[in-house]
Amino acid sequence: MKELKNIKYWLFDLDNTLYSGATKVFDQVDKKMSMFISSKLNISKEEAKKIQKNYFVEYNTTLNGMIKNHKIDANEFLEFVHDIDLSFLKKDKQLEEEISKINGKKIIFTNGSRAHAINVTKRLGIDRYFDDIFDIVSADFIPKPSPKTYKKIIEKYKIEPQYSIFIEDIARNLKPAYELGMKTVWIENEEPWAAEFSDSNFINYKTDNLSKFLKEINEQK
């Protein structure tokens, strides 16, 4: 942990990272993606679900697959799937306390939309602590874990990888960050698609509690 005292750039994934996957927030997004595909392609919800999952595996996001294969309006997709109920998502006082103590630039790095990131962080009570949001639009719709997108975020914010850390729940998304020189943290979870590669050497740290992890870092100062 002592080596993390010099971190200047903090990159946080959004969904299932800044809040627990147990809240099932992303389950709503998941269902709305199937609804969108079903409507756009005029197919059953069962067929839509298969396409959704296949595109996620092949193209890293369902959106990317829909753009490449069906020329959809990406903004329409993002607006529809992120129009969800967040009323049950409560403020996270412990996370707020620890994030507020972190020195350096803090950026949300998500394959989702800026609007969704704003909505979620406002509900959690932590929106004011982030310097910016690098969303899928910022990435020109090229999702993590494409190395091109990591280089783009580094260039945009003039990030020094050797003084940076990336925190994420999908293990494979940490590999490009590690290869560029960043420290990496995997948010432990039991989703098979997120846990794949979680035993790889490109993961420096693992935690099942982000607030606790940040507290340990803050206590090293």
pLDDT tens digits, 106-150: 999 999 999 999 999 999 999 999 999 999 999 999 999 999 999
CATH of 2-19+89-218, one of 3.90.950.20, 3.40.50.1000, 2.60.40.1190, 3.40.50.300: 3.40.50.1000
Of 190 and 105, the one with more pLDDT? 105
- Pick among 1.10.150, 1.10.10, 3.40.50, 1.25.40: CATH of 25-81: 1.10.150
- Kindly state the average pLDDT of the residues 23-36: 94
Q: Where are the domains of the chain?
A: 2-19+89-218, 25-81
Q: Considering all CA atoms of the chain, what is the largest pairwise distance in Å, rounded to the nearest integer?
A: 56
Confidence of residue 5 (pLDDT cuts 50, 70, 90): confident
Spatial contact of 178 and 165, defined as CB atoms under 8 Å apart: no
pTM exceeds cut of 0.75:
yes
Whole-number Cα distances in Å, 23 to 1, 73, 154 = 28, 29, 31
Render pLDDT for 195-204 as a digit per residue (tens, 0 to 9): 999 999 999 9
CB 104 within 8 A of CB 130: no
The span from the CA of 5 to the CA of 220, in Å, is: 7
Residue 221 has pLDDT above 80, yes or no: no
Q: Which has the closest alpha carbon to 21: 214, 152, 170? A: 170
> Minimal CA–CA distance to 134: which of 169, 112, 106, 109?
109
